[in-house]
């Protein structure tokens, strides 16, 4: 009997252990920066996003800055919106930008056929949008009209906004009060070309991308970043055709994906509706994985960014509101899916380098709801507030072993997570428990980061459909969180049901120590290979044609002009502890490794292009390796760096060494 009892407790304790959620936060290899643009937003001329939500006009009794709501600006500044997409959406492909410039009382009106057939008076146009972006500190992202606009129209918009030359467009801009260009970087070539943007085939649209893109010119120092329409959800054939036919002409490919509810208003659901939206929302991971695989086929160097520039939950509108205005409440359910999606984007930041939640104010999964002069900050807003610490921080890879959240026989992982290391050396662990019924114990094991302090913030509620209303605006708000224990470099966290927790961990990033060299000599060793490649081969498996020592990372003078590759190896002497950004600028592909970790990925056949990566290093010698290949056509290679007290420049000869065998 005693034996049976002992066995029972043994098995029970194993089961309990097996149920603990385990997160490994591994700071050994930090390779990718979480582009802050992942935290971008979308604003469309739809319902009360622009009119009433952002723009109230200069004569409004609602406090405004030249027509733009002051309360909305203040709230958005707080969450550090990095980039803002405008004017649509479907609206973009009917928008004629020239109707939105000049004196407002002279601007022609139009019908907003997509969103309720209402009159659009064009009072919020190019300069108002750019003023708004400036006020909130966001980079503008224009969505160009390809569906019903001409090449000339889009090319002239770029010229109006970005050129400082003398031309009819720049004269027009000057006439309307703006002497110098704004220098807008992000431009979309249409919107949802497979749907409201023109119902095109991917083949036809690829040609339009090439054509419209050709006439979207760079002016001055500004280099525009062209984003083509990507797939809606799981239309992988669209991605394949676009990447094959137009991939080399673009900088970004969009992905649109909404999690649709059952048509009922956002706060009207039971656990079935909760589970259903969690499941749909977590599909984002599969969509990104599959699209990434296709993009990798055509663009192994990950030059083209995947821009998830419309995402979020789409529910029925609030009772009594115009169904075409897409005005929906926002609950704890939205907060949880926002956190889960941001974790997915962070974890895929090598390819996902821009995203825009739909939408910013009063439409779909909004940050802010307005009614007259009142505003409400939604649970989703507070997730963006908690997660802003991840903007431009280095991704710290995590592995999650999660318990299941089971509902009516179906199961999803209860816990999802991402982590980052910011430029001040603090680590942030963003945890999300999607289970609305059950709290979870999560054990976070820190690797190569010696923690000495932890603080936390939490967003949670005891009700699945808890929301912030105009009457009760502060129901769902972040609070400080302390239900965790730090011991043996592990953080044991007690996560309540349906909670988002961001932990900030102070301590020391344990960097690989510098390498001791016995007899360092100036220069790097290089090996020269010949062969025909479309991306970098594994030089370690090839036999070199020539070898030598070179003072800097440059193409050896003796080369065949085409179809060759070079491997450079040695050590770089780092002057002081800190973050260093390395760049390669090459034609064709290249990659740069520090201490055997890939820092710059610039692979593939391409014209001269720069890519970069950042790594924290201790003072002293570190291994450096650069791979380069040349196909045909132009050829160039430069490797540069930037670090504490070091302005960006080609890696100088006096930092490069090798050790003769």
Stretch that binds ligand AHR, among 356-364, 369-377, 538-546, 641-649 (CB under 6 A): 356-364
Question: DSSP secondary-structure letter at 432?
Answer: E
Stretch that binds ligand AHR, among 82-90, 96-104, 130-138, 625-633 (CB under 6 A): 82-90
Question: Does 316 engage in binding with ligand AHR (CB under 6 A)?
Answer: no
Contacting residues for 639 by C-beta, under 8 A, at least 6 apart:
553, 582, 583, 584, 585, 590, 592, 600, 626, 650, 651
**Which of the following is catalytic: 192, 492, 516, 569?**
192
Task: Rule CB under 6 A: choose which of 53, 67, 82, 89 binds ligand AHR.
Answer: 89
Closest residue to ligand AHR, based on beta-carbon distance? 89
Question: Does 231 engage in binding with ligand AHR (CB under 6 A)?
Answer: no
Picking from 470, 380, 376, 370, the residue whose alpha carbon sits closest to that of residue 50 is 370
For ligand AHR, give the closer residue by CB, 242 or 394: 242
Binding letters toward ligand AHR, positions 187-216, x by CB under 6 A: ----xx------------------------
State in angstroms the smallest separation of the CB of 393 from ligand AHR: 29
For ligand AHR, give the closer residue by CB, 44 or 156: 44
Stretch that binds ligand AHR, among 86-94, 260-268, 428-436, 472-480 (CB under 6 A): 86-94
517's enclosing H/E stretch is none
C-alpha R_g of the chain: 27
Q: Which two tokens stand for residue 460?
A: 């949670």
State in angstroms the smallest separation of the CB of 132 from ligand AHR: 18
Stretch that binds ligand AHR, among 85-93, 99-107, 241-249, 296-304 (CB under 6 A): 85-93
Q: Are 215 and 151 in contact (CB under 8 A)?
A: yes
- Strands of the sheet containing 415-421, edge to edge, are 394-396, 415-421, 427-433, 499-509, 449-460, 479-481
Total number of residues that touch ligand AHR (CB under 6 A): 10
State in angstroms the smallest separation of the CB of 192 from ligand AHR: 5
Pairing of strands 524-530, 546-550: antiparallel
Task: Rule CB under 6 A: choose which of 47, 52, 67, 88 binds ligand AHR.
Answer: 88
Q: Are 131 and 100 in contact (CB under 8 A)?
A: no
SS (H, E, C) 303-371: CCEEEEEEEEEEEECCCCCCHHHCCCCCEHHHHHHHHHHHHHHHHCCCCEEEEEEECCECCCCCCEEEE
Active site residue 642: no
CA distances from 362 to 51, 429, 561 (A): 10, 30, 58
Picking from 500, 265, 288, 487, the residue whose alpha carbon sits closest to that of residue 389 is 500
Task: Rule CB under 6 A: choose which of 358, 442, 458, 524 binds ligand AHR.
Answer: 358
State in angstroms the smallest separation of the CB of 643 from ligand AHR: 42
Stretch that binds ligand AHR, among 87-95, 271-279, 462-470, 543-551 (CB under 6 A): 87-95
Active site residue 310: yes
- Interactions with ligand AHR, residue window 361-380 (CB under 6 A): 364
Binding letters toward ligand AHR, positions 22-61, x by CB under 6 A: ----------------------x-----------------
Task: Rule CB under 6 A: choose which of 90, 255, 332, 505 binds ligand AHR.
Answer: 90
Neighbour-count burial of 227, counting CB atoms closer than 10 A to its CB (0-12 exposed, 13-18 middle, 19+ buried): buried
Q: DSSP string of 45-100?
A: SSTTSSBTTTB--TT-SS-EETTEEHHHHHHHHHTT--EEEES-SGGGGG--GGGG
For ligand AHR, give the closer residue by CB, 360 or 624: 360
Question: Does 413 engage in binding with ligand AHR (CB under 6 A)?
Answer: no
CA distances from 612 to 187, 303, 534 (A): 22, 11, 21
State in angstroms the smallest separation of the CB of 50 from ligand AHR: 13
Q: What are the residue numbers of the active site?
A: 192, 310
What is the contact surface with ligand AHR in residues (CB under 6 A)?
44, 88-90, 191-192, 310, 358-359, 364
């Amino acid at each position: 009997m005693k034996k049976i009892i002992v066995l029972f407790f043994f098995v029970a304790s194993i089961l309990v252990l097996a149920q603990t959620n385990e997160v490994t936060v591994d700071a050994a290899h930090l390779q990718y920066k979480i582009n802050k643009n992942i935290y971008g937003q979308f604003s469309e001329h739809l319902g009360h996003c622009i009119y009433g939500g952002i723009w109230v006009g200069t004569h409004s009794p609602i406090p405004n800055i030249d027509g733009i709501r002051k309360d909305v600006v203040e709230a958005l500044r707080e969450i550090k919106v990095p980039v803002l997409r405008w004017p649509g959406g479907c609206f973009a492909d009917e928008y004629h930008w020239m109707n939105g410039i000049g004196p407002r009382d002279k601007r022609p009106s139009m019908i907003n056929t997509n969103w309720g057939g209402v009159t659009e008076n064009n009072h919020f146009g190019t300069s108002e949008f750019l003023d708004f972006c400036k006020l909130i500190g966001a980079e503008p992202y224009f969505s160009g009209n390809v569906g019903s606009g001409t090449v000339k129209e889009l090319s002239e918009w770029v010229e109006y906004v970005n050129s400082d030359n003398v031309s009819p467009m720049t004269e027009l801009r000057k006439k309307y009060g703006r002497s110098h260009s704004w220098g807008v970087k992000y431009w979309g070539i249409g919107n949802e070309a497979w749907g409201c943007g023109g119902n095109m085939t991917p083949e036809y649209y690829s040609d339009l991308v090439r054509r419209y893109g050709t006439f979207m010119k760079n002016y001055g120092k500004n280099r525009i970043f062209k984003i083509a329409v990507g797939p809606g959800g799981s239309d992988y054939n669209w991605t394949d055709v676009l990447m094959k036919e137009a991939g080399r002409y673009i900088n970004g490919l969009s992905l649109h994906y909404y999690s649709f509810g059952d048509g009922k208003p956002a706060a009207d659901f039971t656990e079935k509706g909760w589970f259903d939206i969690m499941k749909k929302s977590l599909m984002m991971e599969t969509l990104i994985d599959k699209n990434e695989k296709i993009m990798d086929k055509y663009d192994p160097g990950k030059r083209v960014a995947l821009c998830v520039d419309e995402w979020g939950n789409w529910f029925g509108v609030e009772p009594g509101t115009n169904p075409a205005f897409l005005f929906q409440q926002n609950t704890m359910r939205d907060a949880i899916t926002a956190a889960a999606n941001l974790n997915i984007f962070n974890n895929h930041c090598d390819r996902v380098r821009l995203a825009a939640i739909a939408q910013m104010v009063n439409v779909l999964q909004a940050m802010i709801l307005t009614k007259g002069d009142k505003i409400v900050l939604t649970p989703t807003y507070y997730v963006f507030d908690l997660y802003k610490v991840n903007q431009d921080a280095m991704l710290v890879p995590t592995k999650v072993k999660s318990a299941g959240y089971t509902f009516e026989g179906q199961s999803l992982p209860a816990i999802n997570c991402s982590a980052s290391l910011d430029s001040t050396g603090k680590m942030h662990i963003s945890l999300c428990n999607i289970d609305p019924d059950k709290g979870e114990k999560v054990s976070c094991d820190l690797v190569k980061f010696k923690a000495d302090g932890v603080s936390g913030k939490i967003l949670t509620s005891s009700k699945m459909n808890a929301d912030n209303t105009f009457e009760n605006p502060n129901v769902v708000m972040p609070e400080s969180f302390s239900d965790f224990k730090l011991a043996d470099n592990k953080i044991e966290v007690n996560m309540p049901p349906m909670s988002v927790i961001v932990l900030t961990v102070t301590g020391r990033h344990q960097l690989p120590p510098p390498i001791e060299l016995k007899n360092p000599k100036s220069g790097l060793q290089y090996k020269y290979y010949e062969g025909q490649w479309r991306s970098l081969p594994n030089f370690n498996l090839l036999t070199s044609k020539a070898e030598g020592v070179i003072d800097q990372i440059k193409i050896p003078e003796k080369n065949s002009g085409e179809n060759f590759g070079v491997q450079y190896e040695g050590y770089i002497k780092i002057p002081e502890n800190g973050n260093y950004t390395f760049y390669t600028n090459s034609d064709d592909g290249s990659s740069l490794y520090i201490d055997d970790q890939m820092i710059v990925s610039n692979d593939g056949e391409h014209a001269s292009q720069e890519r970069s990566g950042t790594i924290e290093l201790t003072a002293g010698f570190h291994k450096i390796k650069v791979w380069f290949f040349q196909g045909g056509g132009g050829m160039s290679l430069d490797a540069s760096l930037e670090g504490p007290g070091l302005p960006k420049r080609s890696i100088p000869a006096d930092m490069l060494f090798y050790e003769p065998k």
